[in-house]
Amino acid sequence: MVAFAETASTDYHAAAGSWEAWVDAKLAEQRELLMGVMAEMLAKIQRDFAQTVLEMRAAARPADGRDGRSLNVRGTYDPGVSYFTLDVAVHDGASWIAVKDRPGPLPGDGWQLVARQGKKGPPGERGERGEKGQDGINAPVIDRWIVNRSAYTATPVYSNGIFGPTLELKALFESSEDKP
């Protein structure tokens, strides 16, 4: 605890602000860290729960098809996910259907190919040239700059009156001797 107090005191004096502001900033950092950890934990629990529900549903199904089930599209194949009969996954430009619960890696004996992308066909005949389209409007260009010498900034103003992003130029004018 003494080491933390010494580190905290050193950090506080280096920040050169009020003690309350420093403590508030440290508490905010810890709150953000804890919220991130909690969000990750909640996401994992939700994934695990969803997986458990799928496994329970698969175990409760009759094997003779009387359940009236249909295909269950699961998206791109993920080797870390459990699949069950009639789950459809996409892999390497093809659609595959699981023919049994826990079909194993894809492709494999537990999967049936449903559809695969074919080869590119020969090019067709060249069509007639279309009519000329309407002329577009010219893109705006930088019309002028607003320069703030005391703040070392420059802001472009475009020909349509819109302001561009302000450029922070102070670092360009500082020498290495000026930096601590």
Looking up residue 83, the CATH number of its domain turns out to be 2.10.10.20
Q: Going by C-beta distance under 8 Å and a sequence separation of 6 or more, which residues neighbour residue 97?
A: 71, 86, 87, 88, 111, 112, 114
Whether 102 is in a domain gets the answer: yes
Whether 125 is in a domain gets the answer: no
Using CA atoms, how far apart are residues 25 and 60, in angstroms rounded to an integer? 52
| pLDDT of 5 | 55
Domain check: are 78 and 54 in the same one?
A: no
CA distances from 33 to 15, 96, 161 (A): 21, 41, 43
Whether 137 is in a domain gets the answer: no
Task: Give φ, ψ of 2 to 5 degrees.
Answer: -65, -40
Using CA atoms, how far apart are residues 15 and 9, in angstroms rounded to an integer? 10
Whether 128 is in a domain gets the answer: no
Query: Residue 5: in which H helix or E strand, if any?
Result: helix 2-15
Domain check: are 8 and 38 in the same one?
A: yes
Whether 123 is in a domain gets the answer: no
| pLDDT of 89 | 93
Domain check: are 48 and 70 in the same one?
A: no
Please identify every stretch of the chain with a pLDDT value under 50, giving residue numbers as ranges: 1-2
Quote the number of domains for the chain.
3
| pLDDT of 8 | 61
| pLDDT of 7 | 64
Whether 93 is in a domain gets the answer: yes
| pLDDT of 19 | 76
Using CA atoms, how far apart are residues 74 and 81, in angstroms rounded to an integer? 10
**Domain ranges, residue 93:** 65-116
Domain check: are 51 and 8 in the same one?
A: yes
Cβ burial, residue 169 (10 Å; 0-12/13-18/19+)? middle
What are the start-end ranges of the E strands in the chain? 72-76, 87-91, 94-98, 111-116, 142-148, 153-158, 167-168
